[in-house]
């Protein structure tokens, strides 16, 4: 039986961890929302595990709360120097587009989330190219690498509009406001490696 999106989010506990860190730092919801340039209502929904955060939002939250992104995915304390993540151990951050009005153009899986102290954050990202929307450009500190596995992935910034085909890769500085989306038929997929600052 497939778990609902809300059940899966609650299992991961991302929102609960964000709220706990925010409370530790004595930040009000509106203060954190302002610092990461996010609507307070959306941040509240993320903390309540109703809406999953985008990767850019999660990176901005992690930076503001002074933790690494993997903090939000770690569920046990047994951390080593090598991490093997089996296909059935990936952590999915997905959403039901029918029940979620705050639309997101992709779902993602954390591919390495238990190894403490790592600098890179790898994700498998699946885009939904069937949504007609105008995504808002996002930015965060660090660098990103994208490798297109299937379909077409479009990168849009003020200066560039690039379409990646299977086998193409792209490396860019994340502080430039950018949008990534799937184009064409099907559900484009890519491997993304983020190097937060």
State residue 48 phi and psi, 5-degree precision: -85, 5
Contact 119, 141 (CB under 8 A): no
Give the tokens for residue 16.
């609960």
User: Which residues make beta-bridge pairs with 55?
Assistant: none
Architecture of the structural domain at 5-76+87-195: Sandwich (2.60)
| Strands across the sheet containing 121-127 | 91-93, 106-110, 121-127, 189-195, 143-150, 169-173
pLDDT (tens place) for every residue of the chain, 197 residues total: 344 556 766 777 889 899 999 998 899 999 999 999 999 999 999 999 888 888 888 989 999 998 888 788 776 444 467 777 888 888 788 765 554 444 556 888 989 887 777 889 999 999 887 776 677 788 888 999 999 999 999 999 988 999 999 999 999 999 999 989 888 778 899 999 999 87
* pLDDT on residue 2: 40
- Kindly report the pTM of this predicted structure: 0.66
> Pick from 158, 69, 149: which is nearest to 116 by CA?
69
Nearest to 190 by CA among 156, 161, 165: 165
Q: What are phi and psi of 179, to 5 degrees?
A: -130, 140
């Amino acid at each position: 039986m497939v778990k609902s999106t809300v059940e899966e989010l609650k299992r991961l506990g991302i929102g609960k961890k964000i709220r706990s860190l925010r409370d530790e730092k004595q930040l009000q919801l509106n203060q954190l929302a302002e610092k990461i340039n996010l609507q307070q209502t959306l941040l509240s929904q993320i903390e309540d595990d109703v809406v999953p955060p985008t990767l850019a939002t999660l990176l901005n939250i992690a930076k503001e709360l002074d933790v690494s992104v993997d903090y939000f995915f770690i569920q046990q304390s047994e951390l080593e120097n090598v991490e093997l993540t089996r296909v059935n151990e990936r952590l999915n951050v997905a959403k039901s587009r029918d029940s979620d009005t705050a639309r997101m153009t992709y779902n993602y899986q954390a591919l390495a989330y238990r190894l403490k102290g790592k600098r890179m954050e790898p994700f498998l990202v699946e885009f939904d190219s069937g949504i007609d929307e105008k995504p808002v450009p996002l930015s965060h500190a660090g660098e990103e690498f994208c490798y297109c596995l299937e379909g077409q992935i479009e990168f849009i910034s003020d200066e560039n509009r690039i379409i990646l085909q299977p086998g193409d890769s792209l490396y860019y500085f994340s502080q430039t406001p950018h949008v990534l989306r799937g184009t064409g038929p099907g559900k484009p997929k890519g491997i993304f490696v983020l190097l937060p600052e």
